[in-house]
Amino acid sequence: MLSALTFLAAADIPAKSSSQEIFARETYPEARPPLRGFRAPILDHADELWPFNLPDVDSTPELHAASTIIQTQLASDGLLSTTAQIFAALPSKTLPADAAGLLDFFKRAGLPIDLLAAFIPSDQPSTSPAATLQSIQSLVLHDHVPASQIASRFSFAFQPSAPGFAIACEDGTSDFAQIRLQLPSARYWQGLGDGGAVDIARQLTERISSARFLIGIPSDQREAIEQLLAPGAHASKASVTYFSSSLTLAQWAQDNGKPGFISAASPKLATIVPRYASRGEDGATFIPGETFIADALAETGPTVIQSPLLFQGGNLLAYHQPSTGKKILLIGEAELYRNIALGLSQDQVLQAFCSEFNVDQCITLPAVSFHIDFELSIHIQGNRMLAFVNDQTLATQAILSCTLQPLVSLQLLSNESALEAAQAIRNKNFESALSIIMPPIMDQAVSPGRVPLSFAKNFAVGSSDSGVGNMQRILLAADLATACNVPLDLNDIDPDTQTYFRALRRLQSDRAALQHQLEDLGFVLVPIPSLADGSRCLNYVNMVQGKTRLLLPAYGGLFSPVDAQVRQIVQDKLGADVQIVQILTGETQRRQGGLHCAVSAYYEP
Amino acid sequence: MLTHVRSLFVALAAFVMVSSRAFAALPAQSQPQINPDDPMQVQVRSNLIKQPLGDQTLAVLDLPDQFLSRVADRIIRESFEQNFRIIVDTQPAIQPASAPGAPASLPSAATAPAPASPKKISPLFWTLPIPPGLVIVLMIVIRRNRRKASL
């Protein structure tokens, strides 16, 4: 059966008048919004214009003053106290007298006024942003309540953006219904099997043909991408629907929206997207392309909902706790701070996430990696709660083992030495192993730590493998072993390497603490030979869980033996009822991502 | 291939001299086996919160020290690796007797011109000393989502 290919062009993005605050969509910068309250005008809120920049020189002194208070106090003092401080600081006659004007003033000053609706005055059953604003004004100006005590006059009750929406659990209890991807361009980085964005799409549409695919693409790449993934170009039988944007798109479909359901007589697939799509962990950098693609996605079928909260999808993982029946949402700590910056307290953020994603409890995890999906993947089987986690020592052993054959082939290592090194690796005697493996590599170095490209190329296996990427992983494994497994007095080495090794040791310690936390939550840890270190990762826990099929990242090339080792570990743990589908992701991993980062899976209700 | 970084704060001296007073001011870390007084991490953390946000800085976000430390460590690791664990494009160093596989195409951004400094191997088998006087350029990386340079 031929693929059902359809193409939905994104609605032309309306150019909005350019003024002090409002950008045309095409001209929004990729930046941290100077105004904290900025909310992207998309979906049902497309007509709500939220200013992006600070008040300009023509704005009133009051607006400037309010903006400064919001910038400096919102994260530390919270939404209510900050608002009260503005009322206390500005003469009331300088503020708009009507509710709509007042609301607009605060919006232009940078207050996330939409979140005011979550704060209900103690004497009222419900509220609106305007009503909460007026209540604060009255408490400050008439009742003379200090700003620091304003919060006690309100209760917090965050209302979900779409009642009935529930986040999908990524815990292996359901099968795939749809898969959303994004392709930045219409080309393989190195060729078939390179594990880049196009190659992942090719593999998935070939091998998960029962799922429907939604693929976001750049408008100007439409024909080329259709040709690459069209029936005949490969063995795909999948149903593919394309949607497009004229703005730059990244590969990371996971991060700009989270799949779920809207409960109804027959549950409907839905996607919830953040206040605006962002990147970065030190604050939130607005990404226009990743944000505005939501409008085109909505045209493809699934309901798309915009949340007033900020989040990056790779930092959220939901699962069912079998012993209690509760639905739990794990949240990477960066998401907490991103929303504290909007004026919510830590408890309020967690309450808001529980309500918005319809879960019973939210648990925060430390940012050991950039996102938590680089540190764990969950699979629930009956009453067993499995957490696949990175095991740095296993990974170091696996990578160093893969280094031996090329060295022997290059006649830089004798067979006897290689056997001796292999034995040392198995025994975790890294000092001995490194003393055999590293001198022949570093003999090639043109200066300390700098390996010639001509030499690194010898560590590629196959035309789509990367000798550069592989050598970087070998160097990292050697560094990790030296820093964390070899008794070494750091005072004996140069200050820069000391600093680096200390950072590696702290990473290992943080990871151990995270894994203890998971055990305390009732998870049985499944150690995987897997590393998470930015663009030098060899990561396998960034997997996509399904009930009968699990999508497992593979790296290919030199590290194919590690792929096979991980597959065996996962298969042994899950049993024969779960089909392991390995997806090559080498180039994606060399770009600081992985399979789960690139795949947004919708599950059967 | 790998890099799409912007240097916001550059040229921090590698051998940061930190006063005893600065050491005393460091917050305790959660890893008891590790010396908490890491001047470079303190410096990077400090630079992180100096980044602009509106007409203020990230300091107004009140990010906890432990979180900032984890972010700073990512920057330290990446910066070190990009400066001292790199693949350089130079003359062939060896003619393989039998290569284990076909060479990959060159991801040009991951390579850099070879420096002129002579080869120097450390007695610590491979933990190589940085040439004295070399300045680490510690970059505050605009982390375009961990997943950067995707295009």
The reported pLDDT for the residue numbered A183 is: 97
Instruction: For residue range A322-335, list pLDDT tens digits in order.
Output: 999 999 999 999 99
Tell me how close the Cα of A415 comes to any Cα of chain B, in angstroms: 15
Residues of B in contact with A35 (CB under 8 A): 54
Tell me how close the Cα of B10 comes to any Cα of chain A, in angstroms: 15
Residue A361 host element (H or E): strand A361-365
Q: Among positive and negative, which fits the CA dihedral A248, A252, A255, A261?
A: positive
Whether residues B34 and A445 touch (CB distance < 8 A) is answered with no
Closest Cα in chain B to A55 = B54
Q: B 99-128 residues with CB below 8 A of A?
A: 99-107, 110-111, 114-115, 117-122, 124-128
CB-based contact A372:A314 (threshold 8 Å): yes
Q: Does A393 touch chain B (CB under 8 A)?
A: no
Q: Does B67 touch chain A (CB under 8 A)?
A: yes
Q: Does A1 touch chain B (CB under 8 A)?
A: no
Q: How far apart are CA A59 and CA A315, in angstroms?
A: 38
Look at residue A447 and tell me whether its pLDDT is greater than 90: no
Look at residue A500 and tell me whether its pLDDT is greater than 50: yes
Q: How far apart are CA A399 and CA A561, in angstroms?
A: 9
Instruction: For residue range A260-286, list pLDDT tens digits in order.
Output: 999 877 889 999 999 999 999 999 999
Closest Cα in chain B to A535 = B2
Q: What is the mean pLDDT of residues A499-508?
A: 95
Question: Phi and psi dihedrals of A411, rounded to 5?
Answer: 60, 30
Mean pLDDT (chain A) is 93
- Give pTM, 2 decimals: 0.87
The reported pLDDT for the residue numbered B127 is: 52
- Cα separations in angstroms, A346 against A72, A161, A372, A452: 18, 20, 19, 49
Q: What is the mean pLDDT of residues A74-87?
A: 98
Tell me how close the Cα of A592 comes to any Cα of chain B, in angstroms: 5
Beta pairing partners, A272: A258, A305
Of the two residues A584 and B6, the one the predictor is more confident about is A584
% of chain A with per-residue pLDDT over 70: 95
Beta-carbon contacts of residue A300 (< 8 Å; ≥ 6 apart): A8, A214, A241, A243
Alpha helical stretches, state H, A410-543 = 415-426, 430-442, 453-456, 467-484, 495-520
B34, B64, B102: residue with CB nearest A509: B34
Q: How far apart are CA B83 and CA B110, in angstroms?
A: 11
Of the two residues B139 and A194, the one the predictor is more confident about is A194
A255, A435, A475: residue with CB nearest B85: A475
Residues of B in contact with A441 (CB under 8 A): 126
Q: How far apart are CA A345 and CA B129, in angstroms?
A: 46
Q: How far apart are CA B13 and CA B133, in angstroms?
A: 9
Whether residues A451 and B88 touch (CB distance < 8 A) is answered with yes
Whether residues B87 and A442 touch (CB distance < 8 A) is answered with no
Tokens encoding A589: 């991993």
